[in-house]
Chains A and B, each alone.
Chain A
Amino acid sequence: MAQGVWIIAEQRDGEIRKISYELVSEGRRLADALGQDLTVVLLGSNVKEKAAEFGPYGADKVLVADDSRLSPYTTDAYVSVISQLVKANEPGILLLGASVEGKDLAGRLAARLDVAMAQDCTAFAVEDGNLVATRPIYAGKAYAKVTFENSWPQMATARPKVMSIREPDPSRSAEVVDASFTLDDAELKTKVVDVVKDESGKVDLTEADKIVSGGRGMKGPENYTILEALAAIIGASVGASRSAVDAGWRPHADQVGQTGKVVSPNLYVACGISGAIQHLAGMSTSKVIVAINKDEDAPIFQKADYGVVGDLFDVVPALTEEVKKYM
């Protein structure tokens, strides 16, 4: 009988990523609701020493697969190893992060195991012993509550930054176990030949705690310096609407929305953005939304917790001065 909650941890260059702590915290909650154990699965190269980090967050066991071919991440290697572990241990629930890597992995893993997968969920619950996942569909215009039928493990990915991290309990520790698996080089058809680091030092939008975003109202690329000034003071990353990206003012990676990034920061400041439905799709799970727009009828005000009707070229620099008092 399938039993136990598993989460797949994510690490990069040996550093555990934040989404992993979100998953462990959520996994602990579900494991408690089921009265079952929580296992963290950690893959990588020379990562075993990191395994101890998960105990204080609620893991009962950490299953470590250590192999030089498991860093950096490739779909072929990870799917092969994890599917072997799942088949050997039959967990009841399997959770991953809806990060770039997690989404890639979850899709192929579900296919390999021939199970259903609920992607990019914003909430989980246990009902009658089954995982029930809530996920935005139609770009957040509706929310679907889904569960699984004849499908084990019950598999889902969690939207980054939506689920909270529990207070670590330093007195808790987890049992660390070496996973047994085989990996055949013939399975590895793709190869990461280079990694180009983003040197801007900016936190990726999907992981940012605060985002200051600018749209067509910015009037041109040079004016983003005023957003960058505010962002620098409050520790935010700068995002953009599609209009600003299509105009060539900002790179594609900065686009927030239905065809851009889905973000859930604690604070989202929309400057000169009208709030088109496709833009809202990318930021409506933000915790606090601020809109600065000179048009009082702009749809963004319907979604904003705080709205300032005014010219952003006056309001944003004034705000940059004012926030200094609190930083």
Chain B
Amino acid sequence: MNIIVCLKQVPDTETQIKIGSDGKSIVTDDIKWVMNPYDEFGVEEALRLKEKHGGEVTVIGLGPKRVTESIRTALAMGADKGILVSDEALEGSDSLAHAKALAAAVKDTEYDLIFTGQRAVDDDLGIVGATVAELLGIPQLSLIVKVEVAEDGKSVKVERPIEGETLIITSTLPALITAQKGLNEPRYASLPGIMKAKKKPLAEKSLADLGLDSADFGTGARKLKILELTPPPGRQAGKIIEGETPQEKAAQLAKLLHEEAKVL
């Protein structure tokens, strides 16, 4: 079983976001970068499938050199090799373009299954998995919480919770799965794992290496145009309910929810 995991590096979820002077981007100084949390579920699932069915796990990241750290983290968790797609021309590209570069990098690798996160927690767009699958002409199984690969390695059975129901879906392989919370608990990279990761192969590829034209990337080629970033709409500091006893406070709260907020 050959499995590919696409991963993205995103600002740590604790990061306070500052909007840049252009009003269209964020200030990236002092940001701590981490592997997108949903991609961690993808890496973990790939490792579990490899442990069960054998084969190899390849991690593909895209972005500036610092993304190497996240690829190394995945290698330290147990992935076998990494590919970093890095090119100055990628700067400012939208997700559609990123997916095109990832798909090009995947094409040259043998695979039965691809994992991506269901979305990245920076732009929260959730389009890369579907686009990669479309460009490769393979089915996508998105927002998945359980994966079972058939003994013969030719098909997969997954679970997708939708509102109030869970769908059990089967698909031929190769296929692309987007990972969702509930799929697994990602492992931590062990110290021996970290040592081993340093010796694992990690190739770097430019857009030209992938046979892509850099004119199709970057800010100028964006189809989703950012007009403006703003801080979230502020919520008015609310009322602290006064009262001597919990009963008094509860009575006051219920009254306000009924009369003022009109939600009861």
Which residue numbers of A lie inside 8 Å of B, CB to CB? 12, 72, 74-76, 99-101, 103-104, 106-108, 110-112, 114-120, 132, 135-151, 189-198, 203-204, 206-207, 210, 234, 252-253, 255, 258-260, 266-267, 277-278, 284, 287-290, 296, 301-311, 314-315, 318-319, 321-323, 325-327
Contact status A278-B13, CB under 8 Å: yes
Contact with A along B13-32 (1 / 0, CB 8 A): 11111010000001000000
Contact status A138-B94, CB under 8 Å: no
Q: A72 to chain B: which residues have CB within 8 Å? A: 167
On whether A306 and B232 interact (CB within 8 A), knowing A116-B223, A192-B167, A318-B250, the answer reads no
Contact status A143-B229, CB under 8 Å: yes
The 4 A-B pairs of least Cβ separation, nearest first, read A107-B130, A252-B182, A318-B250, A111-B134
Which residue numbers of B lie inside 8 Å of A, CB to CB? 11, 13-17, 19, 26, 37-38, 94, 96, 99, 119, 121-127, 129-131, 133-135, 138-143, 145, 157, 160-172, 175, 181-182, 222-233, 235-241, 246-247, 249-251, 253-258, 261, 263-264
On whether A258 and B121 interact (CB within 8 A), knowing A101-B162, A195-B168, A196-B166, the answer reads yes
On whether A305 and B230 interact (CB within 8 A), knowing A116-B96, A150-B223, A277-B13, the answer reads no
Q: Is the interface of A mostly helix, strand, loop or mixed?
A: mixed
Contact status B227-A112, CB under 8 Å: no
**CB-CB nearest in chain A for B168:** A194
Contact status B135-A111, CB under 8 Å: yes
The distance from the CB of A234 to the nearest CB of chain B, in whole angstroms, is 6
Q: A319 to chain B: which residues have CB within 8 Å? A: 250, 253-254
Residue of B141, B165, B172, B231 most packed against chain A (CB within 10 A):
B165
Q: A302 to chain B: which residues have CB within 8 Å? A: 235, 237
Contact status B264-A148, CB under 8 Å: no
Q: B258 to chain A: which residues have CB within 8 Å? A: 326
Q: B13 to chain A: which residues have CB within 8 Å? A: 139, 258, 277-278
On whether A138 and B239 interact (CB within 8 A), knowing A99-B163, A100-B160, A260-B181, the answer reads no
Distance between Cα atoms of A118 and B222 in the complex (Å): 13
Contact status B225-A305, CB under 8 Å: no
Question: Which one, B129, B231, B255, contacts A143 given CB within 8 A?
Answer: B231
The distance from the CB of B245 to the nearest CB of chain A, in whole angstroms, is 8
Contact status A207-B163, CB under 8 Å: yes
Contact status A144-B240, CB under 8 Å: no
Contact status B247-A318, CB under 8 Å: yes
Distance between Cα atoms of A143 and B138 in the complex (Å): 33
Question: Which one, A12, A111, A284, contacts B130 given CB within 8 A?
Answer: A111
Contact status B235-A303, CB under 8 Å: yes
A-B pairs with beta carbons under 8 Å apart, 11 shown: A115-B223, A140-B232, A142-B26, A144-B226, A145-B230, A190-B139, A305-B235, A305-B238, A309-B240, A323-B254, A326-B257
